[in-house]
Structure 1
């Protein structure tokens, strides 16, 4: 596989194919004394179901903002935004490495959004974050967010879904298209030297069809506010048909329930937090203000 083809595939995989995901959701502890006791910053290694997960906390008050990166990315994806967000909101900021990424242990087997949400839940509980969370989820983390909010009612006060994998996108025809396009690339990746990123891509592809058929059936809880930021170029820049389906899925998601807002990141690629950080910061600040 050429470098250009590998790069193109990984961009797509980090979005729809949902690599290793974990939703960025966090709940804030309402006890001011507990908030003041939170370390200014530092890694917390949390064990769940036999594997360790690395969480990073910047001290602040409620609501807690949890930043969850897309497939193939770890907590460092948000490094440029954490300090700005902390200054702008005064909120506690939490980032973390999903299983198999960064300082977190790898977990064998196919990608499982429900298990990733369970990891996030365990980490937040150990940190004392159990309510008033503003969840910011990019790309594959949209799957984690959906499982998380369904399993943990009352924890998340609002979400900012940044060019995120949303259930309406994953129709049977679209799943078949993705599988057909990525199958040869995944096979080629399997012949390359084994790396963390490659292993996670292969794990995502292993059970992609059934996993995303089940995800397609999920719905976002009514009444839970969500801002959906969709990139203008989408993960399918170069494929107008797929790009339009991505945009249509975002619009369908927003129209399906109250308290949802659709925002387009003009001129941005799928990496909206990198291409237009001011836009992402603005909508996180707005959601945090409503959650106070």
Structure 2
């Protein structure tokens, strides 16, 4: 495994495998090996749109939500305690529904540094970004990373902020797992979700999970030989118990009552055609699970959709706001 840290603190991936590969190789937000700056606008192209798996071409459009005439206010930092640790939440004021942005594995709230103010300005909604435990300004929590703990942290933060209804989750990669468990536990809190190349239960068959575990075993051992830093500790925590956690995740279902848009990158997080197709198939299977789900393909995008095609995310959020009324 390469131990070269790029200037943006990302380690170049050596093997495929969503979330565990992101964890043990340090792929920031499970991005590919040559990610662009998050939220950096590019010339808009076309994205494929699917409703319940039926493909149709579509161009990015302006979100349907109202646009405020004045610039969005600056985000304020709120440190919120959950048990014996504190979490950093960044809140841009606005109206409901609130947009809660959750970055992927290896990333903190700074992943959304360009998109958060853009969404606040274009929609007028309250925008919340936060650092999961051990990331950014949030406290580290010893032991294996558990999605249930991440859900508890998010719920505690939103409760303290007084946002317990009309929430739209915008969740990238590994945060798709947090979103799925959060939605299952708190469906009445949510007006919808936009899952940005999200890690979805349908992908984690026993065969695929075993394949990821085997492919990354050597990288986990290599990480253990590296100096103990906040980054390496969090990567190892995410890898700990990966197999059992994802076999259980495969049995979890997104609640039928919560609308969702799944955005899948054209390149996917994988290098091999076989794994890439399995990723696409899982996204399609998820969308076919209920009539209130849509599938959008971010054309010409790597897994780092916020960097490569921010317009696709902004459009999907606008459509979800329209759906939420």
Global fold match (TM > 0.5): yes
The one of 180, 195, 219 equivalent to 1:185 is: 219
Tell me whether 1:239 sits opposite 2:272 in the alignment.
Answer: yes
Over 3 Å off, 4+ runs: 3-6, 9-20
> Greater share of helix residues, 1 or 2?
1
Separation in 2 of the partners of 1:80 and 1:18? 24
Structure 1 stretch displaced more, 7-16 or 51-60: 7-16
| Aligned partners of 1:17 and 1:205 also within 8 Å | no
Structure possessing the higher relative contact order (Cα contacts under 8 Å, 6 or more residues apart): 2
What are the Cα deviations for residues 181-220 of structure 1, in whole angstroms up to 9, with x where unaligned? 1110111011111222211111111101100011110000
Deviations 1:44-93 (A, max 9, x none): 01110211000000010111000000011000000011111111100000
**C-alpha displacement of 1:40:** 4.9
Please provide the CA RMSD for this pair: 2.0
SS in 1 for 2:187: coil
Correspondent of 2:147 among 113, 116, 119: 113
2:294 to 252, 261, 264: 261
Q: What is the TM-score of this pair, normalised by structure 2?
A: 0.80
Question: Relative to structure 2, which stretch is displaced further, 40-49 or 98-107?
Answer: 40-49
2:89 to 50, 55, 64: 55
| Equivalent in the alignment of 2:49 | none
Post-superposition Cα deviations, 1:135-168, rounded to whole Å, max 9, x if no partner, equal: 1000000000011011112101000000010001
Are the counterparts in 2 of residues 53 and 97 from structure 1 also a CA contact under 8 Å?
A: yes
2:13 maps to what in 1? 8
Equivalent residue in structure 2 for 1:85, among 77, 102, 119: 119
How far does residue 14 in structure 1 lie from its aligned partner after superposition?
4.3
Contact 2:20 2:242 in 1 (8 A): no
Alignment of 1:1-292 (within 5 A): 1-3=1-3, 6-9=11-14, 12=17, 14=19, 40-236=74-270, 238-292=271-325
Q: Is contact 2:2–2:14 with CA below 8 Å preserved after alignment?
A: no
Unaligned runs of 5+ in 2: 6-10, 27-72
* Match of residue 42 from structure 2: none
TM-score normalised by L of structure 1: 0.89
Q: Residues of 1 paired with 2:207 and 2:242: CA distance?
A: 13
CA distance in 2, matches of 1:194, 1:4: 15
